[in-house]
Chain A
Amino acid sequence: MGGHLTVGGDLTVTSATLTVRDLVAGYERGLPIVRGVSLEVARGEILALLGPNGAGKSTLVRAIARLVPIESGRVLLDGVDVTARPAHRLVRDGVGLVPQTENVFTHMTVEDHLALAAAAVERKERRARIAAVYELFPDLAAQRRLAAGRLSGGQRQMVALARALVPAPRVLLLDEPSAGLAPRLVEAILARLRDARALGVTIVLVEQNTRAALAVADRGCVLVEGRLRLVAAASELAGNAEVARLYLGSSEAAR
């Protein structure tokens, strides 16, 4: 994987602060999975969202992106309340989400994915945006005519990330981008995230792979049963075996 900040000119963003206040959300009304979460992610910061299976990490980022109904609470982007905006509007406002699964259209080519995402940008900027994203993901440029369904898991993850970067999001939400990938690919994904942060993107990273997440994040927070239990600097969390044992499960602590 090559391609670094040389392409920054086309993708640099005005970063934004993401604020979540008392968020309650779930797929069914009256059965909240996220039970009152408040957090603030600073401009250009990477926040790792950790916690055991079923803690509500995915639901939280999907609720912020408006894929999961919000029962109460607010989401603010640079202080502007965006809670009522539908998912497709939020993308145009600068919030991108890379879902964990089903994050590509299997019957569509890599090129189709980027072209579709570019529809959210000004017409005259579309070409430059797509070119800039290809520079960041040179492997994808070679496979632009392949259907995403024929790509490997790691390549699909790259397509999903590239697709989300086309409209130059100010806030990027990633739901377990390393799930099921080989360590080498995890490293490649994390390297792209560092690139994105260098461009000014504010990032929320949901991860089961605690060590990898804390290696790239500035701060980490631990979600348990839909509530935030702990927020601390990534370095502090990484060195705290007790925290890992208590909140992330003993198998995670051993890693």
Chain B
Amino acid sequence: MIGLQDVANGVMLGATIGLGAVGLTLTYSILGFANFAHGELITGGAYAALTLFWLLAATVGWGVGHFGALSFGAPFLVVLAAAMLLTAALAIGLEQALFRPLRRRGTQIVLVIASFGASLALRSLITFVWGPEPQYYTREISIAREVLPGVRVTADQLFVLALTTGLMLALHLLLTRTTLGRAMRAASENPALLALTGIDPAAVARWTCLIGGGLAAVAGVFLGLTVQVRPLLGFELLLPLFAAVILGGVGSVYGALAGSLVIGLAEALSVPLVGAEYRAAVAFVVLLAVLVIRPAGIAGGRE
């Protein structure tokens, strides 16, 4: 039976997918191709945080700490911020070293294949450096509490939901109220015209990578916190990410968020119906259904 608990789980999953999907849809529309390495940005963020925790523990003796009912404390926030910066740097590095030179000469398919190659290479590198075994930030257990009758969530999950909401609100303000946001919207429609407006499209692309990488890191760290850190963490999220992006209509930030919620709910609600083994296939089925029925996405119509 589907219960409120499944709905709550779906919303939580949707929030995490949303962090990745929003970054993916931004880079998709502004850099002009489907970046398959976006999953590895998520994984990279999770491992960056893991390494930073080790370093903090080894040097200044900081643990993950804990605050109230959360399984972590202030050091976690410091590590999260640093992991966002490191992942953003990785995203900008990929753009500068790989995608930008290819975009000048090649076609879209060349970029997509290149990003697929980057994805494989990064995943192998991560497995080589950190090993294939799952790892954890903390052995603390965040205890689930009943927030509504029949709905139990952990403090960690609520924190994830609150921070995701805050980040999305900040992104909304950035896109609608600032020059950078206007430039990003402009770049997604017509980069040449943006240059004619006096703004460097390459700089806008770098900012987009920074934002996409930062959000991907948050998704990775959240998954590391609430599940575990594994080399396949981001790659396994790639399908739900693309499903959410296409569902929402490529380039639409709010569409990607809505799509993420739909995918998250579809996966979580399918568990009591078809069993947990098949939940990953649900995103795929939803994606195929949308491609057949509404190729431009639910909110689509653009292009």
Q: A interface vs B, CB < 8 Å? A: 65-67, 86-88, 91-92, 96-97, 99, 102-108, 112-113, 115-117, 119-120, 163-164, 167
Whether the Cβ atoms of B197 and A112 lie closer than 8 Å is: no
Among residues 140 to 199 in chain B, which have CB atoms less than 8 Å away from a CB atom of chain A? Answer: 179, 182-183, 185-186, 189-190, 192-199
Whether the Cβ atoms of A99 and B198 lie closer than 8 Å is: no
Q: Interface readout for B199-236 with A: 1 if CB under 8 Å, 0 if not?
A: 11100000000000000000000000000000000000
Q: Which residues of A sit under 8 angstroms from B197, Cβ to Cβ?
A: 88, 91, 113, 116-117, 119-120, 163
What is the distance, in angstroms, from B101's C-beta to the closest C-beta of chain A?
16
Whether the Cβ atoms of A99 and B196 lie closer than 8 Å is: yes
Q: List 10 A-B contacts (CB under 8 A).
A: A67-B192, A86-B195, A88-B198, A91-B195, A102-B190, A102-B193, A105-B186, A105-B190, A108-B186, A115-B182
Total number of A-B contacts with CB less than 8 angstroms? 71
Which of chain B's residues has its CB closest to A112's CB? B182
Range of interface residues on B (Cβ < 8 Å): 10 to 19
Whether the Cβ atoms of B189 and A116 lie closer than 8 Å is: no
What is the distance, in angstroms, from B135's C-beta to the closest C-beta of chain A?
43
Residue B302 CB within 8 A of the other chain: yes
Q: Which residues of B sit under 8 angstroms from A120, Cβ to Cβ?
A: 197-199
Which of chain B's residues has its CB closest to A119's CB? B179
A107-B185, A107-B302, A108-B185 are contacts. A117–B190 as well, Cβ < 8 Å? no
Give Cα A88–Cα B186 distance, bound, in whole angstroms: 14
Whether the Cβ atoms of B199 and A88 lie closer than 8 Å is: yes
Whether the Cβ atoms of A116 and B196 lie closer than 8 Å is: no
Give Cα A116–Cα B185 distance, bound, in whole angstroms: 11
Whether the Cβ atoms of B200 and A116 lie closer than 8 Å is: no
Q: Which residues of B sit under 8 angstroms from A116, Cβ to Cβ?
A: 179, 182-183, 186, 194, 197, 199
Q: Which residues of A sit under 8 angstroms from B196, Cβ to Cβ?
A: 65, 67, 87-88, 91, 96-97, 99, 164
Q: B interface vs A, CB < 8 Å? A: 179, 182-183, 185-186, 189-190, 192-201, 302
Give Cα A202–Cα B196 distance, bound, in whole angstroms: 17
Give Cα A146–Cα B175 distance, bound, in whole angstroms: 17
Whether the Cβ atoms of B179 and A115 lie closer than 8 Å is: yes
What is the distance, in angstroms, from B267's C-beta to the closest C-beta of chain A?
31
Give Cα A108–Cα B189 distance, bound, in whole angstroms: 10
What is the distance, in angstroms, from A244's C-beta to the closest C-beta of chain B?
32
Give Cα A99–Cα B192 distance, bound, in whole angstroms: 10
Give Cα A119–Cα B179 distance, bound, in whole angstroms: 7
Give Cα A105–Cα B194 distance, bound, in whole angstroms: 9
What is the distance, in angstroms, from B162's C-beta to the closest C-beta of chain A?
30
Give Cα A106–Cα B185 distance, bound, in whole angstroms: 10
What is the distance, in angstroms, from B250's C-beta to the closest C-beta of chain A?
13
What is the distance, in angstroms, from B29's C-beta to the closest C-beta of chain A?
11
Q: Which residues of B sit under 8 angstroms from A163, Cβ to Cβ?
A: 197
What is the distance, in angstroms, from A75's C-beta to the closest C-beta of chain B?
15
Whether the Cβ atoms of A106 and B189 lie closer than 8 Å is: yes
A112-B182, A115-B179, A119-B179 are contacts. A105–B189 as well, Cβ < 8 Å? yes
A88-B200, A115-B179, A116-B183 are contacts. A105–B195 as well, Cβ < 8 Å? no
Give Cα A106–Cα B182 distance, bound, in whole angstroms: 13
A106-B189, A107-B189, A107-B302 are contacts. A87–B195 as well, Cβ < 8 Å? yes
Q: Which residues of B sit under 8 angstroms from A115, Cβ to Cβ?
A: 179, 182
Give Cα A164–Cα B196 distance, bound, in whole angstroms: 8
Whether the Cβ atoms of B200 and A103 lie closer than 8 Å is: no
Give Cα A99–Cα B186 distance, bound, in whole angstroms: 15
Give Cα A113–Cα B183 distance, bound, in whole angstroms: 10
Which of chain B's residues has its CB closest to A65's CB? B196
Q: Which residues of A sit under 8 angstroms from B198, Cβ to Cβ?
A: 88, 91-92, 117, 119-120, 167
Q: Which residues of A sit under 8 angstroms from B195, Cβ to Cβ?
A: 66-67, 86-88, 91
Which of chain B's residues has its CB closest to A173's CB? B196
Give Cα A139–Cα B248 distance, bound, in whole angstroms: 35
What is the distance, in angstroms, from B262's C-beta to the closest C-beta of chain A?
23
What is the distance, in angstroms, from A84's C-beta to the closest C-beta of chain B?
15
What is the distance, in angstroms, from B33's C-beta to the closest C-beta of chain A?
20
Given contacts A102-B190, A112-B186, A116-B186, list 20 more A-B pairs with CB under 8 A: A87-B195, A87-B196, A88-B200, A91-B195, A92-B198, A99-B196, A102-B193, A103-B193, A106-B189, A107-B189, A108-B185, A108-B186, A115-B182, A116-B179, A116-B194, A117-B197, A119-B179, A119-B198, A120-B199, A163-B197
What is the distance, in angstroms, from B51's C-beta to the closest C-beta of chain A?
38
What is the distance, in angstroms, from A27's C-beta to the closest C-beta of chain B?
12
Which of chain A's residues has its CB closest to B186's CB? A105
Q: Which residues of A sit under 8 angstroms from B194, Cβ to Cβ?
A: 88, 116
Give Cα A86–Cα B196 distance, bound, in whole angstroms: 10
What is the distance, in angstroms, from A61's C-beta to the closest C-beta of chain B?
11
Of B195, B196, B197, B302, chain A has the most CB atoms within 10 Å of the CB of: B196
Which of chain A's residues has its CB closest to B196's CB? A97
Of A67, A86, A119, chain B has the most CB atoms within 10 Å of the CB of: A119
